[in-house]
Structure formats: structure tokens, C-alpha cells
Amino acid sequence: MWAIVVAAGSGTRFGGAKQFAPLGGTTVLDRSVATALAHADGVVVVLAPGARWEPPSGVTVATGGATRSDSVRAGLAHVPEDAAVVVVHDAARPLAPGALFEAVVRAVREGADAAVPVVPVADTIKRVADGRVVETVPRDDLVAVQTPQAFRAPVLRAAHAAGGSETDDAALVEARGGTVVCVPGDPRNLKVTVAADLDVVRALAGAGGPA
């Protein structure tokens, strides 16, 4: 299994490159990569053009594109052709446990085209137009999707070869009729999007703040 860690975002909502933010003596990116590397034969980290980062042994660096999908495609180009399973993980989820990597990979090896971790939606969801609520959406069958997400490598390559841009790779596989299964996610597997998120992640990690 190979892993692609996507770290090419500009961090506009965070106010900077969140992947390099300090986290308990390391960085958000380094922690995400360490977990991926512990469960993969090799890891490709996709960085923004011009970003500087010293990769550890076993990690290849690729340059990302204008969209997340472009960045994943850039990472895929560095994954060996004989890789059977590819996991795609957002660097901004540094608390993803190793067990989650194992769970999505296991689901793919058992026959799924792709596997994604999900958690129930707790909040009431409303559809809004022009600042007015137009519908309250039933949440019984809604879930929030996390990474890491695992894929049969040929399926992921074919989905990206067809082009398109989505907020996650499973959507590209879905669009081609692939079978995407769900595994239980982890509520602690938060995504760092704004600065306040990093405070929560530090607390959960026991980091306590910048090192």
C-alpha cells in the first residue's frame, strides 16, 4: 500500500500554511506523514509550489496543482504502478489514528473499490438561499466524511485520468460507478481549517501549544 498526503493548500481560512503549524514538538504535516509512513510501503507528500520541507526517509515530494484533485493527480504520478492500494490523506488531519488507515485498507482488500471513514452528522442541517432558510434537510442518512480514504489503485487512477475536480477522491470514483463503502470514523480526527481548530487539535494531542 502507498499513501498520498495532500499538503498543497494555501491555508486561506487558517491565515497561513496550516500544514507547517507547530504541534507538540513537530508540525501538523510531520505528524500526518509519520502515521501514514508507519502503515504504508511508501508515501508521497504533495506540497504547494515553492514550499520547503525536508522529507524523512521513504517519502517522495511532489508539487501540487491549482485544485485538490490536481494535487492528488500529481501525487499519483509518483506511486509505483504495481501498488495495489492507494490511500489519500489530508495533511490537515494530524490526529488520524493508525487503526483508521488499517480499516479503510482492509475494506478495499475485501473487495470495495474505495473506503471512506465517516462520522454521524450531529447538527441540524438547513439549505439556505439568499440568506433565508429554504429547507431543513433530514440528517438520518447523512454522514461527514474524513480521510484517510483508501482505493484500489487502478480505480483511483482511472477516476483521475477522466479529469474533474471534487472535494474528495471518493466523489470521482462515485461518478464512475465505483463501489464506495463506509467504515466508522474517529471524532478526534479533526481537520485543521481555521486557527481555532488547531487549538482543539493541540488539546486533544496533549500538545498544549506551539513547541
**What CATH number does residue 51 fall under?**
3.90.550.10
Gap between the Cα atoms of 80 and 100, Å rounded: 23
163-187 pLDDT, tens digit per residue, is: 888 889 999 999 999 999 999 999 9
114-137 pLDDT, tens digit per residue, is: 999 999 998 999 999 999 999 999
Gap between the Cα atoms of 101 and 80, Å rounded: 19
C-beta atoms surrounding 61 within 10 Å: 16
Mean pLDDT of the chain: 92
State the pLDDT at residue 167. Answer: 85
30-74 pLDDT, tens digit per residue, is: 999 999 999 999 999 999 998 989 999 989 999 999 999 999 999
State the pLDDT at residue 16. Answer: 65
Q: What are phi and psi of 36, to 5 degrees?
A: -60, -45
Residue 205 has pLDDT above 90, yes or no: no
Cell numbers that stand for 90 in this block = 489530508
Task: Flag whether 187 is in a domain.
Answer: yes
Distances (CA, A) of 91 to 36, 64, 85, 145, 189: 10, 13, 19, 15, 11
Gap between the Cα atoms of 149 and 156, Å rounded: 11
State the pLDDT at residue 181. Answer: 98
State how many domains the chain has.
1
Task: Flag whether 124 is in a domain.
Answer: no
User: Taking residues 97-115, what's their average pLDDT?
Assistant: 97
Task: Flag whether 211 is in a domain.
Answer: no
Task: Flag whether 72 is in a domain.
Answer: yes
Burial class (CB in 10 A: 0-12, 13-18, 19+), 196: exposed
69-95 pLDDT, tens digit per residue, is: 999 999 999 999 999 999 999 999 999
State the pLDDT at residue 211. Answer: 39
Task: Flag whether 126 is in a domain.
Answer: no
- pTM for the whole structure: 0.92
Q: What are phi and psi of 132, to 5 degrees?
A: -120, 140
Confidence class of residue 13 from pLDDT cuts 50, 70 and 90? low
Task: Flag whether 169 is in a domain.
Answer: yes
* Residue 110 domain boundaries: 2-116+145-205
State the pLDDT at residue 12. Answer: 63
Gap between the Cα atoms of 152 and 113, Å rounded: 5
Q: What is the dihedral of CA 181, 186, 187, 193, to 10 degrees?
A: -80
Gap between the Cα atoms of 138 and 62, Å rounded: 41
Nearest to 116 by CA among 93, 139, 138: 93
Task: Flag whether 132 is in a domain.
Answer: no
Which of the pair, 173 or 18, is modelled with greater confidence? Answer: 173
Residue 208 has pLDDT above 90, yes or no: no
- Calculate what percentage of the chain has a pLDDT beyond 90: 79
Gap between the Cα atoms of 100 and 86, Å rounded: 14
**DSSP symbols for 93-133:** -TT--HHHHHHHHHHHHTT-SEEEEEEE--S-EEEEETTEE
Task: Flag whether 107 is in a domain.
Answer: yes
Burial class (CB in 10 A: 0-12, 13-18, 19+), 67: middle
